[in-house]
A and B are shown apart, each in its own frame.
Chain A
Amino acid sequence: MPDTVIEAKGVGLTFQTGDGPVHALKGVDLVIEKGDFVSFIGPSGCGKTTFLRCMAALETPTEGSLTVNGMSAEAARQARAYGYVFQAAGLYPWRTIGGNIRLPLEIMGFSKQEQAERVERVLELVDLKGFGKKYPWQLSGGMQQRASIARALAFDADILLMDEPFGALDEIVRDHLNEQLLALWARTEKTIAFVTHSIPEAVYLSTKIVVMSPRPGRIADVIESPLPRERPLDIRDSPEFIAVAHRVRDGLRAGHSYDD
């Protein structure tokens, strides 16, 4: 029996707005095991980012219970249990790439020597060795996003929460980064929660695909991927891959997400 990392029971989140309450999430039940790669997919407004933010304790659910590493999400945040990758790289323009990766290490009080070692290690991990002294504007968008992943990896949290990290990149770069992300996941054995609205990306990356639907944001389907962990890019032409993609598409349709 593998360890449970994230467990959601009846999680709901209602925002009070001027136009009345908005149900961003309703009745979300989900278990994420250690080492899982879980993708959240669905149309805009289905609450996938909101749920990720709940796991990160950047939002607080109004109903249900959500535990991360066996504690409340807030306690997990204070224990620095996860690294978070945002939609934009969000590197500080006044810090070099190395300086940006050092930011969480400085905040968490690592020694100077350990900071330097870790920066070197994660730069290598995301294939940016030798770019530590460059400034963000000297790097392409894909390299910046890789640097932001390195920043999230630097302090060795077991969980990686990624919010459409490759959404702003073109497809060629995205394919390349997907491949690298899988390699990185295999090497580091992290538990990854990954928000996307690309069906091929979700199917290619995940061991578990959570299909969500909007109004209110809820889980429409959870698909355990039959694909092996070792995945070359051309696995995307295999019948198994196409079958999973098909089921994801069906799940999205069943959620009436294409009605409007």
Chain B
Amino acid sequence: MKSFAPVLVVVGVIVALWYAAAVGMNAQWERDQAARAGSEIGWAEIVPKAMHQERPVLPAPHQVVAEFWKLTWGEEVAGRRGIVQSGSLSNRGLVLHAWVTLSATMLGFVIGSGFGILLAVGIVHNRAMDASVMPWAIASQTIPIVAIAPMIIVVLNSVGVAGLVPKAIIAAYLSFFPVVVGMVKGLRSPDGMQLDLLRTYNASAAQGLWKLRLPASMPYLFASLKVGVAASFVGTIVAELPLGGAGLGTRLLAGSYYGQTIQIWATLVVASLLAAGMVGVVGLVQSRVLARMGMAA
């Protein structure tokens, strides 16, 4: 219980600040409404009204929670198009969109980390790759993803690749980089003595990789994977913006087109829960793997 108290205090402070900010930001609209009606209103009236607007500048927390509930549980269980009544996820609810984004993120993450690990192995074992690959990898990350994502999608569409894969490729584009950087560092982490030891056994480079470099790089790998999975998620959402169809990115864009701020915030809540969940899963796998390897983290 002791450790819960500070967490609750911080959450309480954030919620209080949020309410204060919501009232402050939404107050002007209430004043404008009153002025248009030829009257004036005081704070006593503004405060409750500012917390229950239909299209607030900043929705109050309870509005976001209600919308989140409506678009997940409410939509799927009670809604006509929900999974209970129609047998498939509603395209108006957030569960379907979250699933679409999640699946593209996972695919992109797998492609990106796999590619990143391969690149890192190449960089560590090949002098030419060591000198030539890193600058390109860094350059690739300096290009704004919002600029390059639509182009990748257009190019892939023109060669007949559509749907999940283009999004996953953009997700991979963002997630390979932290994995490359972390894995190069990890694969080079064994010291001179450990490498000399393998030389005294006349071990091959492949044996050195499997028996020494890869196991030694595991803590580095997991640190990078946590960054990589979050980057992959951002990449997927950015890739969904120009695509249309389903996905959290599409929902965010639609929400901002139609001024549905509450819906945007509810979508953001889903997005952050997903991201936290994925990082959490990587962390769980990390502690399992490292514990099994006798390297409790």
Residues of A within 8 A of B (CB): 56-58, 77-80, 82-84, 86-88, 90, 92-96, 103-104, 106-108, 135, 137, 155
27 contacts between A and B (CB under 8 A): A58-B196, A58-B199, A77-B199, A77-B200, A78-B202, A79-B202, A80-B201, A82-B200, A83-B200, A84-B196, A84-B200, A86-B193, A87-B193, A90-B193, A90-B197, A92-B194, A92-B215, A92-B216, A93-B294, A94-B294, A103-B211, A106-B211, A107-B202, A107-B203, A107-B211, A135-B294, A155-B201
**Residue B44, interface by CB 8 Å:** no
Partner of A56, one of B194, B198, B200, B293: B200
Contacts of B47 in A (CB 8 A): none
B133 to chain A, nearest CB (A): 28
A71 to chain B, nearest CB (A): 13
**Residue B295, interface by CB 8 Å:** yes
A58 and B200 contact, CB distance less than 8 A: yes
B196 and A86 contact, CB distance less than 8 A: yes
Residues of chain B at interface, number, CB under 8 A = 19
CA distance A86 to B191 in the complex (A): 13
B193 and A88 contact, CB distance less than 8 A: yes
A96 and B294 contact, CB distance less than 8 A: yes
B293 and A94 contact, CB distance less than 8 A: yes
| B200-232 Cβ-contact flags toward A at 8 Å (1 or 0) | 111100010001100110100000000000000
CA distance A103 to B199 in the complex (A): 13
Known A-B contacts: A90-B193, A103-B201, A135-B294. Give 4 more (CB < 8 A).
A83-B200, A93-B295, A94-B216, A94-B295
CA distance A95 to B210 in the complex (A): 13
The 9 A-B residue pairs with the shortest CB-CB distance, nearest first, are A94-B293, A135-B294, A84-B200, A107-B203, A104-B201, A107-B201, A94-B215, A78-B202, A86-B193
User: Is the contact region of chain B dominated by helix, strand, or loop, or is it mixed?
Assistant: helix
CA distance A58 to B216 in the complex (A): 22
**Interface members, chain B 31-86 (any A CB < 8 Å):** none
CA distance A131 to B146 in the complex (A): 57
CA distance A107 to B193 in the complex (A): 17
Contacts of A77 in B (CB 8 A): 199-200, 202
Contacts of B216 in A (CB 8 A): 92, 94
CA distance A228 to B118 in the complex (A): 58
Residue of A nearest to B204 (CB): A107
CA distance A80 to B207 in the complex (A): 15
Contacts of A79 in B (CB 8 A): 202
A55 to chain B, nearest CB (A): 11
Residue of B nearest to A90 (CB): B193
Partner of B201, one of A92, A96, A108, A135: A108
Contacts of A80 in B (CB 8 A): 201-202
Contacts of A94 in B (CB 8 A): 215-216, 218, 293-295
Residue of B nearest to A138 (CB): B294
CA distance A107 to B206 in the complex (A): 10
A236 to chain B, nearest CB (A): 31
CA distance A95 to B216 in the complex (A): 11
CA distance A103 to B212 in the complex (A): 10
Contacts of A155 in B (CB 8 A): 201
Contacts of A57 in B (CB 8 A): 199
Contacts of A82 in B (CB 8 A): 200
Residue of B nearest to A108 (CB): B201
B6 to chain A, nearest CB (A): 32
CA distance A97 to B197 in the complex (A): 16
CA distance A78 to B294 in the complex (A): 32
Residue of A nearest to B294 (CB): A135
Contacts of B218 in A (CB 8 A): 94
Contacts of B207 in A (CB 8 A): 107
Contacts of A56 in B (CB 8 A): 200
CA distance A80 to B194 in the complex (A): 17
CA distance A90 to B196 in the complex (A): 11
Contacts of B197 in A (CB 8 A): 84, 86, 90
In the complex with contacts A88-B193, A90-B193, A94-B295, A107-B215 CB distance below 8 A: no
Contacts of A78 in B (CB 8 A): 202
In this complex, the member of A56, A78, A107 whose beta carbon has the largest number of chain B beta carbons within 10 angstroms is: A107
| B78-108 Cβ-contact flags toward A at 8 Å (1 or 0) | 0000000000000000000000000000000
A135 to chain B, nearest CB (A): 4
CA distance A87 to B191 in the complex (A): 13
A98 to chain B, nearest CB (A): 12
Contacts of B293 in A (CB 8 A): 93-94
A190 to chain B, nearest CB (A): 15
A86 to chain B, nearest CB (A): 5
Contacts of A58 in B (CB 8 A): 196, 199-200
CA distance A137 to B218 in the complex (A): 18
